Amino acid sequence: MIFLLLSIICSVTVGVLLKLAKRYQINVMQAVTWNYLFAIGLSLFFFKPDFSSVSFSLISPVYIALGILLPIIFLFQGFAVRQAGLAKTDIAQRLSLLISLCAAYFIFNENFDRLKYVGIIFGFVAIVLTMYKKQTSSNNKYSWLYLLLVFAGFGVIDILFKLVSQLNEIPYTTALFVIFCISFVLSLAYILYLAIAKKTKIQLINFVCGCILGLFNFGNILFYLKAHRAMAENPSTVFAAMNIGVIIIGSLIGILVFKERLSKWNYTGLVFALIAIVLITLSKLHAV
């Protein structure tokens, strides 16, 4: 359970760092770029990828899609945290499991029982209630859109990672290294373009913050994989505990530390989200 707890802490910390980025005027795009450079270094140290198995002919379009999507969704997550708050963003991110479940049914032909159907219904209601907000100013009138992009983006990323796990041409850990490299190269090209065309300064503070962000982002992945390995016979427990843990801790930090305000509808959505995840988990356990 220690690996699972560490993964939850790392995941929530990423959201907190993105929340603090605006307060300390951190350039999120630059931080995200250096985050992937640091993740590459950590991948070399922990995963020790097998470069002998890598060639351009084996670079699947799935790897390229993930390499492009990861930095983009990171930016959307940063916008969502700043506009809608940490609590709502964490809930939107974790509710993206509903997209994975739909893919499991329509793409991977998984059988669903009644509990899972009911859980999905609760989940979609939770999405609507969680993203609901009466607009009081023009500054955050698009907060619902950022939340929707986080929800959809992380759902697609989850599906792509499932596809990566099914590819046997190169080891999964080596594939992850390749994906990080693609994300870094594209992100670096973009910030260099901004530096040349828009005269945006590349600052050391963004590099430092990016390394810290990369540490926790990579830690989330590393400890999540270790948790699955430690509890290999019960993966549904890992998946459900991760989602419930992030939603609860992320919401508490958002409300207590950052003084984020949730409406009654938002709190109702949070309850529906927890019910949805519990029902989906019970469905998995019942299937086992």
Per residue of the chain (288 residues), give pLDDT as tens. 788 889 989 999 998 998 898 788 899 999 999 999 999 999 999 888 877 767 777 788 999 999 999 999 988 998 898 888 888 888 888 788 778 777 777 776 767 778 878 888 888 888 778 777 665 554 566 788 999 999 999 889 878 877 877 777 787 788 889 999 999 999 999 999 999 998 999 999 999 999 999 999 999 888 887 887 787 665 556 666 777 778 788 888 988 998 888 889 888 988 888 888 788 777 766 655
- Which of 150, 159, 165 is closest to 100 using CA atoms? 159
- Model confidence pLDDT, tens digit, residues 11-60: 999 989 988 987 888 999 999 999 999 999 999 998 888 777 677 777 88
Q: What percent of the chain is helix, strand and coil (3-state, nearest 5)?
A: 80, 0, 20
**Quick one: pLDDT at residue 1?**
74
**Quick one: pLDDT at residue 35?**
95
- Indicate the domain borders of the chain: 2-287
- Which of 246, 204, 201, 249 is closest to 223 using CA atoms? 246
- Judged on CB neighbours under 10 Å (0-12, 13-18, 19+), 56 is exposed
Question: Exposed e or buried b for every residue in 78-97, given b needs 16+ CB within 10 A?
Answer: bbbbbbbbbbbbbbbbbbbb
**Quick one: pLDDT at residue 124?**
81
**Quick one: pLDDT at residue 243?**
73
**Quick one: pLDDT at residue 14?**
92
**Quick one: pLDDT at residue 134?**
65
Give the separation between CA 178 and CA 190, rounded to whole angstroms: 19
pTM of this prediction? Answer: 0.81
Q: What is the DSSP string of 100-134?
A: HHHHHHHTS-----HHHHHHHHHHHHHHHHHH---
**Quick one: pLDDT at residue 175?**
84
**Quick one: pLDDT at residue 33?**
96
**Quick one: pLDDT at residue 112?**
72
